[in-house]
Amino acid sequence: MLYKSTRGGDSRLPFKKTVLTGLARDGGLMLPESVPDFSGGLGRLAALRYQDLAVEMFRAFADDIPADSLRAIVEKSYSTFRAPEVTPLVGVGDIFVLELFHGPTFAFKDLALQFLGNLFEYVLRENGARLNVVAATSGDTGSAAIHGLRGRKGVSITVLHPDGRVSPVQALQMTSVLDANVHNIAIDGTFDDCQGIVKALFADLPFKDKYSLGAVNSINWARVMAQITYYFFAAFQAMARTGARQVDFTVPTGNFGDVFAGYMAARMGLPVRRLILATNENDILDRCFRTGVYSVGAVSATISPSMDIQVASNFERWLYYHFGEDPAKVSAAMTEFKATGSLRIADGAIGDRWLSSGRAGTEETLDTIRGAWRDSGYLLDPHTAVGVSVARKAGIGDVPMICLATAHPAKFPAAIERAVGEDIAHHPALDALNGAERRMTRLPADARAVADFVAANAL
């Protein structure tokens, strides 16, 4: 399998080189030249445990890694998860909740970043190279990436987060990791500022080459690839329990990476009927699918901070397919968006075979947390509650509705207490972070200042 940029450059790179490239040199995002079709083997795949299913999925995309090596990376990556089935599917009232928070940092990002950390180590050891990872986070990517890369040889990681705009637990998970190869920067700005700085550093090709920059954000194709597996695994479980032949998914999303993994699963033959993206008040994606216009607004701070995003990087990957796999159209569209902050994709609501959208504000989110706790004794974190709220507004049909649970509620105790009136969202591993020694650097939202920091701390 070879890879190409959504904008036409970096064509025909093998998987291992694609992983180390991260963002394409022309500013686009990497995609496989073809989408593998698994539709003819769903029965066989449905019988596999999570790790074996992941190996089957990854082999289609990473065929330049020997099968035995790939299996070893997968087994090592998911041995760190607390749930034997890795991603349990739980019935909560009239929906299924897919618990993706059983990894080391209690967030769905662990599913990809535990794998990516081991993958980086394997590839770098193989060719004796070094990698200086630079990442932006709205909360969970940073801690998951840090825990995936801490202490690894040949890799350093610098994470940018918006100062004061992540939850206290999320901040502690990042800044209390004191390994020498881990660096945290608190940016005076929003996540979009952080993401913009990271993209600017990657766009500076001499700087990128000199310091061997690598990406762990979902601009890296391996992140999306690793997330495809749990869509198949969840659908197989839900269909086995209900006898249904299709499933619906609702996906809380900010940067479009998680929902794009579901979109790829559908293209690969998973029997998905609806794929509903769910946003909070930062609803650029919902507005886009309802109006056909992708237009930046002001970022609002909410109780679901990992979704407080306006510019969704992975949206470009979906645009590539929406525009008939025409890189010239994608390049022109992204140039227009960068210049104006707005892009008209359609005259009215966007029609897509699978994708639709919905929005849930803070009060709806709190009501959903409160209702799930009252009726089912189940605690939803605020991001997952956005998804459940949107799912119910979209309507629970005659096929299973699966909502992706993106984080453990203990990462957002203040929001849970606000919803249910009790301080009950805790986990011993997270509570133990209180009072931990921390290390971070505060910088302005300035690409030059961050570049100087990265250069000073690079391997």
Pairing of strands 30-32, 131-136: unpaired
* Largest interatomic CA distance in the chain: 58
CA atoms within 13 A on the CB side of 406: 26
Residue 215 in tokens? 């990406």
385 within some domain? yes
What's the CATH number where 242 sits?
3.40.50.1100
Task: Return d(Cα 119, Cα 65) in angstroms, integer.
Answer: 10
Chain-centroid distance of CA 161 in Å reads 15
Looking at 16, 17, 76, 109, which residue is catalytic?
109
Per the structure, the complete domain to which residue 369 belongs is given by: 89-106+222-428
With contact defined as beta carbons under 8 Å apart, do 156 and 459 qualify?
yes
With contact defined as beta carbons under 8 Å apart, do 397 and 248 qualify?
yes
> How wide is the angle at C-alpha 399 spanned by C-alphas 316 and 246, nearest 5°?
60
* Predicted confidence band of residue 9 (pLDDT cuts 50, 70, 90): confident
Query: What size, in residues, is the chain?
Result: 459
pLDDT at 11 over 90: no
Number of domains present in the structure of the chain: 1
64 within some domain? no
61 within some domain? no
Beta-strand ranges (E) seen in 109-154 are 131-136
Beta bridge partners of 249: 275, 402
Query: Which residue is associated with the tokens 């059983």?
Result: 102
Chain-centroid distance of CA 370 in Å reads 26
Q: What is the average pLDDT across 37-49?
A: 97
Helix (H, G, I), strand (E, B) or coil at 354: coil
Lowest mean pLDDT among 52-61, 133-142, 340-349, 375-384: 133-142
Q: DSSP for 282-304?
A: --HHHHHHHHSEEE--PPPP-SS
161 within some domain? no
Q: In what order do the strands lie in the sheet with 30-32?
A: 13-14, 2-5, 30-32
Tens-digit pLDDT profile for residues 329-345: 999 999 999 999 999 99
Residue 448 in tokens? 């030059």
Tens-digit pLDDT profile for residues 106-154: 999 999 999 999 999 999 998 888 999 999 998 789 999 999 999 998 9
* Predicted confidence band of residue 458 (pLDDT cuts 50, 70, 90): very high
Whole-number pLDDT of residue 289: 96
* Predicted confidence band of residue 175 (pLDDT cuts 50, 70, 90): very high
Nearest residue to 141 via CA among 21, 257, 28, 16: 257
- Is 109 part of the annotated catalytic residue set? yes
Tens-digit pLDDT profile for residues 293-352: 999 988 999 999 989 998 998 999 999 999 999 999 999 999 999 999 999 999 999 989
Tens-digit pLDDT profile for residues 190-220: 999 999 999 999 999 999 999 999 999 888 9
Q: In what order do the strands lie in the sheet with 95-99?
A: 89-92, 95-99, 401-405, 247-252, 272-279, 355-359
Task: Return d(Cα 44, Cα 328) in angstroms, integer.
Answer: 39
2 within some domain? no
Query: Which residue is associated with the tokens 């009072």?
Result: 435
Q: Can you give the pTM of this predicted structure?
A: 0.94
196 within some domain? no
pLDDT at 77 over 90: yes
Query: Which residue is associated with the tokens 């990042």?
Result: 174
Pairing of strands 95-99, 441-444: unpaired
Task: Return d(Cα 334, Cα 411) in angstroms, integer.
Answer: 35
For 390-411, letters b (16+ CB in 10 Å) and e give bbbebeeeebbbbbbbbbbbbb
Whole-number pLDDT of residue 140: 85
For 190-229, letters b (16+ CB in 10 Å) and e give bbbbbbbbbbebbeeeebbeebbbbbbbbbbbbbbbbbbb
Tens-digit pLDDT profile for residues 396-443: 989 999 999 999 999 999 999 999 999 999 999 999 999 999 999 999
With contact defined as beta carbons under 8 Å apart, do 118 and 77 qualify?
yes
415 within some domain? yes
260 within some domain? yes
* Predicted confidence band of residue 376 (pLDDT cuts 50, 70, 90): very high
Residue 186 in tokens? 């608190």
